[in-house]
Structure 1
């Protein structure tokens, strides 16, 4: 059904609510499915009058609009994420760039160029544990890296020089756009920030080398990656193959390296670190099962997954036992501290919150509530510790704070692993789903 001119359109099976954003051709609404689950989705509404006939192939539409029902990304877009934080630490930018590189590698292997990469077209699944989602393929083309085009596409701030100057380009323009996005994430604004299009065009057409600001200071790998991406001459710009393998991120995210690190930590006796690394590696290997078409390679991946799941199960038992032992050791000191806090109502109250956190942690599914209680307790205890005079009570309070911080960090890691984005559909078919989930969920 069509909507009125003053409100969101009406679509059977959904309730369209607030407007999330709009562009030249479409408006995106937050919506709820009318079915029992009340699933939250994003619906892109494209006005038919803005499209030509060729644009309507393989779409469903009513008399006024075309509706695209998509995943709802609660974290907004990368542009807003950067703007609210001014700049992103290199560690955060590195993770985001790795995720973006994975998406581009998927496209590149299928000879698809996006042609409109910018922070506004990169969505975040959430703000708590954001995963990037590449969006808006309205300008994308099926083209190999050297299939030349001459139609001006994309957004000027993120547009490669060859697109602006020569009006002839290939898929390598996406690499330039990635460089601009990375530059903006690290320094708070794109390299060609301008007050007018004329000024912007002049900067883009210039032959001057793009200088990197001295602050914040970047790692040599990150500086090298930026310079290679922001190379004006596409012939000298980093290639897709070198981009995907660049040490600017692969040393921390390559699944094979994660496994090597896991084995090393395992040999050193650091079971918790080894378990975390194995689960991070599985987060890469498991989705590969879905997309791998070569039977031999798929069987090899399955064998690796089974091997890592088996070891993760063993490590999980070790970590769980170790954490329970530490909790028992700290209990006696905590009892004594509470006895010494009887004349300090604020301290006693904070310790009671900590006790509630411990109790909540032991409940099934209570990890997030427990973490919230730990953090609330620690906020109070750290302030009280700063004002506590030297003595036995201060020593016990210091020990208690250290124990609670360790518990909070442990829970953070536990929750992070539990929320890992496994490819459940593929795993269920492969008979690996339950074992992977349980191995990366500490009890």
Structure 2
């Protein structure tokens, strides 16, 4: 048992708990041995005095949002061998002690709040528009120096394609992501948006009291970037995989907040429905030197075994060049692809977090994340910036790769994505394998 997976926080008057500025809900996320789940649940019942455990199987998620908010119920997601456990403050120590000793309990961590991560401050990025590229013969064969110099100039021609789609070469591929399911776990979606009605396969809200309709705009924007149409109502084209099928899971409220439990429930839902990719433009800050969350890492590994790649935003807490903050959770898990943001100069955006924490806290790849145009609620469009905007570019390219290699494992898809990136001269800490590229 890895003792890093456990911890307790002091109670706050409002029922939540906090540690060094990070918000906790008072519940625990518990991962069980898939082959011995009942033994783990029984241990939790006796140690934490858990009276009621509601079991969720496969696609049976209709009332999950309500169950997650009931203080008298713990929720067990059978297929992922995971549970969100309600624990009274006086029983938390007993739960942690039991989890450390019980072999059928793999990990247990306090549930945390998570947040949408757009950049709304009217700050300007650096103004240099001509980055240097590391010499690489294979890559240069695909990108002539003249082509790259023209592409990275101060004026992108966005009449037909957004600058982001041009930078990742979507305008040069014939792949469309046809038939590939991508789950976007966010603030929901404008289900009536004329550009998106054709790509929505299924929706589900995991936020109690809120429908899947997007009252924030963040989720609609991210879904548009993944699968906006080849010919939008108003140009330019902004969607990477125009024929992908979207599973829109609302895990963040209209105010942009949610919990680990919401996300766990949505991951179980997405995996059960055959999502090839799960895109999560959300997260929470971590401290310098903080290790990745064991629960998310194990969930990501289990998803990979089921054929699903999870992609997450690296976070927007930096203020370059003076201050570079570590990759947020859950993107800091080794088995989750962490996406950094690039501005139009193909340089790290001033806000994009860096891989300064060891053991999983790396940036894996970088994608356009500055002034990204995409869909907005009420049938409109807007430009947003953030690693949140970079992440769905990656999810879309994974859909293209999956279409091209339908029998590839999830691990192989991740490897193909990184090996196909365009190397950049910027530190690996900031851009990982380099600039995302469509196959």
Structure 2-normalised TM-score? 0.23
Which structure has the highest strand share of the two?
Answer: 2
Name the structure, 1 or 2, with higher relative contact order (CA <8 Å, separation 6+). Answer: 2
Which structure has the highest helix share of the two?
Answer: 1
Structure 1-normalised TM-score? 0.23
